[in-house]
Amino acid sequence: MTLHDWIGMIMTVSIFVLMLVAYVLVFHPKNKERLEAQRHILNDDDRFDAEVKK
């Protein structure tokens, strides 16, 4: 195997592991409340207005 093959294999395996960890964190019932608290953070215009007025 060449260097490029090894780099590609290592990147593929590491991305797979990172995605697996992300799925476990998102779908674990213990983390539901923490994630639900951030559900509307992108649509919260009042938060940005409060920062501008400071």
Q: Report the pLDDT value the prediction gives residue 17, as an integer from 0 to 100.
A: 98
Q: Report the pLDDT value the prediction gives residue 22, as an integer from 0 to 100.
A: 93
Confidence of residue 2 (pLDDT cuts 50, 70, 90): very high
Q: Report the pLDDT value the prediction gives residue 19, as an integer from 0 to 100.
A: 98
24 backbone dihedrals φ, ψ, rounded to 5°: -65, -40
- Token pair for 34: 């923490």
Q: Provide the residue type at 3 as one letter.
A: L
Instruction: Give residues with Cβ within 8 angstroms of 41, minimum separation 6.
Output: 47
Q: What's the predicted TM-score (pTM) here?
A: 0.58
- Sign of the CA dihedral with 48 first, then 49, 53, and 54 last: negative
pLDDT, tens digit, 9 for 90 and up, residues 7-53:
999 999 999 999 999 999 888 888 888 888 888 777 766 666 655 55
